[in-house]
Structure 1
Amino acid sequence: MTSGSLASNGNGTLLTHAPPTTESLSGMVAFVRAAESGSFVAAGRALGLSASAVGKSVMRLEAKLGVQLLNPTTRRIGLTHEGARFFARCKRILADLEDAESELFHSTSSPRGRLKISAPSLGARLLLPHVPEFRRRFPDIDLDIDFSDRLVEVTQEGYDAVIRTGRLADSQLLARPLARYGPVIVGSPAYFAGHGEPGTPADLEGHACIRFRSPGNGRIEPWRFAESDHSFAIEPRAALTFNDMEAVVAASISGLGLACVPDFVAKSALESGLLRAVLVEHTRMEGTFQILWPPSRHETPRLRAFIDHLAVRLGGSPAHEMRFQAA
């Protein structure tokens, strides 16, 4: 009832009632337990209170309502007519409250719900091998992953987190490193059988090279190498050029030439023997994948589960988190 509402005490007398209070709720619990057990002593035992405290709580509730709820004249506490009606309503209210508490507890203790993630196009090669295990561990989490090189507005577009490389100009995001990566020069065993292997980056002039053109800016990516104290890039003559990294890898597997691709993109082909890496001593790790997310006082369990899973599987430090600094 709202403040100032009217109710009858069953005898035709109209009473005004204040809004329900915490004391009303505790009195309701005491009343229900006493009515169920038929004893203030038993109710007190169940609630961890004295029989006197239970009785006084019920009396305060009766005084507030202006009606007698319990009839303690018999050997066992009984319900008055008004008490029986009120008891049925109180049971439903307390059951609903318990259901609400249980639902909230499980929603925060057991990861569940939808996660919207943005990742770069090449991120599929990095993430997808680890999705099956994540789904087995957390079947109640629904993953919605957008593989795109577009730089999304994390909070404005409703993303829970983004996976990116390099530095983003957003100092409000938290970040955690997931995996380091670098370029690898690869070719098929058939290609090497027919053309030999380059010994240095300069030897690439005598090889067929498959180049990658960025679909975002249209530029052909240079091939990056490193010496002990510096890095450098070369642009070998292109026998083939594709704007799709999967096509670059497939062409190299087919024996059409050498390719320079991120190591995680070639990982499965290297492990299966379809490709072989060369010039390894001239390349090094130069980039880091990070997962970034908006800071929140109550980080959802589903986001925490996703971040921890990727960090562990991809080699990121579980303990390392930092506020992302603007470039």
Structure 2
Amino acid sequence: MNAFVRAAETRSFTKAGAQLGVSSSAVGKAVARLEGRLGVRLFHRSTRTITLTAEGTLFLERCRRIFSEIETAEIELSQTRDAPRGKLKVSLPLVGMLMMPTLSAFMRTWPDIELDLDFSDRLVDVIDEGYDAVVRTGDTTDSRLMMRVLGSFGFKLVGSASYFSAHGTPKTLSDLVTHRCLRHRYPTSGLEDWLHDGHGNKITFQMTTAVTSSAIEPLIQLAKDGHGIACLPDFAVQEQLDDGSLVSVMEHAVRHSSTYRILWPSSRQLAPKISVFVDFMAANLFKPRPISADSQPDQADIGAVGRETAR
């Protein structure tokens, strides 16, 4: 049944085998034995893909309920232990590398939890890809998930002092048109919009693009090296603003903001490892002071989380 569920969720015997640590042929034989015992075909097979039959779709839902009951029983037993433990699979945006101080502090606080971190701006399917939690911006639309806000952040137009000395410091939109722009590109929504009016509407203008990047860290470095102006999350460049390697300009013109949320699969019983991770990230990710290794999450908060739809 486990081989069948993994194959159904990944649409691949090979991927299911990789998750289970066995060969694709072993998964195929396990599914064939299950089909023989049930007397029905669970998959349509071709040389490239497998898809569920109507009977397979029905059986998948039953199997998920069975495994959910098993997981609930295991969670109830695990809660009798002194501390949460086990592997925690988390998806974070590429800018998540800037969250490493918080993640490092979490590892010191909960050493029995093994983090499996995937950094990507790809829109992952939390349920089908087996993630315990994901951190993302944007609205939420999947009712299978629970959600909690981690915090909001603004944006700043930044460049090096040497760049502004050579090219002038922009003070108005017309000044900005002549500058070299270092732009962040999202995988789903495209290039980051820099300027917005007070009503949330973007202000379009002709940019001279020097470089585009799917990650923020290269843009920070290029801005420090004097290659142009970048519009970046304020928390991502705070260290550089503090040490003077970057300078913020036209702060009155950058009015938009975004919010990080943490999402996890909805269930009647929340695993302790997910509970402490959600609490810790909410308490520490946007904390203005340095994170202590002794910081403890607020376990009571998780019970107050309301159900929302989630993307």
TM over 0.5: yes
How many angstroms does 1:289 deviate by? Answer: 0.6
- Whichever residue aligns with residue 122 of structure 1, its letter is V
For 2:130 and 2:189, how far apart are their aligned partners in 1? 29
Q: Does 1:158 align with 2:142?
A: no
Identify which of 190, 200, 205 aligns with 2:177.
205
Contact 1:181 / 1:286 at 8 angstroms: preserved in 2?
A: yes
Identify which of 141, 156, 162 aligns with 1:184.
156
Q: Counterpart of 1:322 in 2: which secondary structure?
A: coil
Q: Does 1:234 align with 2:207?
A: no
Q: Counterpart of 1:271 in 2: which secondary structure?
A: helix
Aligned to 2:97: 124
Aligned CA distance change for structure 1 residues 213 and 225 (closer, same or farther; 3 Å): same
How many angstroms does 1:198 deviate by? Answer: 1.4
Identify which of 297, 306, 310 aligns with 1:322.
306
Q: Counterpart of 1:206 in 2: which secondary structure?
A: coil
Identify which of 124, 128, 142 aligns with 2:114.
142
The count of corresponding residues between Structure 1 and Structure 2 is 223
How many angstroms does 1:217 deviate by? Answer: 5.3
For 1:183 and 1:201, how far apart are their aligned partners in 2? 16
Q: Does 1:294 align with 2:265?
A: yes
Identify which of 181, 195, 198 aligns with 1:224.
195
Aligned to 2:142: 170
Q: Counterpart of 1:269 in 2: which secondary structure?
A: helix
For 2:253 and 2:177, how far apart are their aligned partners in 1? 16
Aligned to 1:81: none
For 1:312 and 1:206, how far apart are their aligned partners in 2? 42
- Whichever residue aligns with residue 113 of structure 1, its letter is G
How many angstroms does 1:139 deviate by? Answer: 0.8
Contact 1:213 / 1:241 at 8 angstroms: preserved in 2?
A: no
Contact 2:147 / 2:310 at 8 angstroms: preserved in 1?
A: no
Please identify the structure whose Cα radius of gyration is greater: 1
Identical columns (%): 38
Deviations 1:170-199 (A, max 9, x none): 012110001212321001111122233211
Q: Counterpart of 2:255 in 1: which secondary structure?
A: coil
Aligned CA distance change for structure 1 residues 259 and 303 (closer, same or farther; 3 Å): same
Contact 1:178 / 1:289 at 8 angstroms: preserved in 2?
A: yes
Q: Counterpart of 2:268 in 1: which secondary structure?
A: coil
Superposition CA RMSD, Å: 2.8
Q: Does 1:196 align with 2:196?
A: no
How many angstroms does 1:107 deviate by? Answer: 5.9
1:207-286 matches, cutoff 5 A: 207-214=179-186, 216=187, 219-227=190-198, 229-244=199-214, 245-286=216-257
Deviations 1:105-132 (A, max 9, x none): 676441111100112222222x212122
Q: Counterpart of 1:149 in 2: which secondary structure?
A: coil
Deviations 1:135-166 (A, max 9, x none): 11111111111111222222222211111111
Aligned to 1:86: none
Q: Counterpart of 2:100 in 1: which secondary structure?
A: helix
Contact 1:211 / 1:238 at 8 angstroms: preserved in 2?
A: no
Deviations 1:234-265 (A, max 9, x none): 34432412224322221110011111122232
Contact 1:207 / 1:257 at 8 angstroms: preserved in 2?
A: yes
For 2:169 and 2:90, how far apart are their aligned partners in 1? 41
How many angstroms does 1:266 deviate by? Answer: 1.9
Of the two structures, which has the highest relative contact order with CA contacts closer than 8 Å and spacing of 6 or more?
A: 2
- TM-score, normalising length: structure 2: 0.64
Deviations 1:177-231 (A, max 9, x none): 01212321001111122233211233202322223344x259443322333x453
